[in-house]
Amino acid sequence: MDLNYFKQLLEERRTQILENITIATSELEDLKNVEINDEGDYAALCADNMIDTVIQEKQIAELKEIEEALEKIEHGEYGICEMCGEQIKPLRLKVKPYAKYCIVCRSIIERENGQR
């Protein structure tokens, strides 16, 4: 497996997320400086902020997974399913380079989550 390829993929994605977070944070700072005239504006502003927060939380979660995957590359554990210990297919890693589970385990987890 071409580890350098996946390392590059992960690092590019990490840079992109860090940029997104920086932009979103500065936009939020700008919003704080806007003068609010009526309650309607304020409600709209709050809704926007909530959406931004959700997006940002998702990105931070993804960032964490990317960091973990990069660490695995360092330790020679990259691309191994955390549940069954099998090699994750490179094709799957190309789509999701920080995948923790192989397709079989992933579908088991998703099925269990769906039952809840």
List contacts with Zn ion (CB under 5 A). Answer: 81, 83-84, 102, 105
Give min distance, CB of 67 to Zn ion, in A. 21
Residue number, 13 or 106, with CB nearest to Zn ion = 106
Between residues 61 and 84, which has the closer beta carbon with respect to Zn ion?
84
Identity of the residue, 46 or 84, whose beta carbon is nearer to Zn ion in the bound complex: 84
Cα dihedral sign for 79, 82, 86, 90?
negative
**Which lies closer to Zn ion via its Cβ, residue 14 or residue 89?**
89
Element (H or E) spanning 4, and its range? helix 3-33
Q: How far is the CB of 21 from Zn ion (least distance, A)?
A: 31
Least separation in angstroms between residue 99's CB and Zn ion is 10
Count the alpha carbons within 13 Å of 99 in the hemisphere toward its beta carbon.
Answer: 24
**How much is the CA Rg of the chain, to the nearest whole Å?**
19
Min dist. Cβ of residue 81 to Zn ion (A):
3
Give, in order, the Cα–Cα distances in Å from 61 to each of 4, 33, 67, 73, 85. Answer: 23, 28, 10, 19, 23
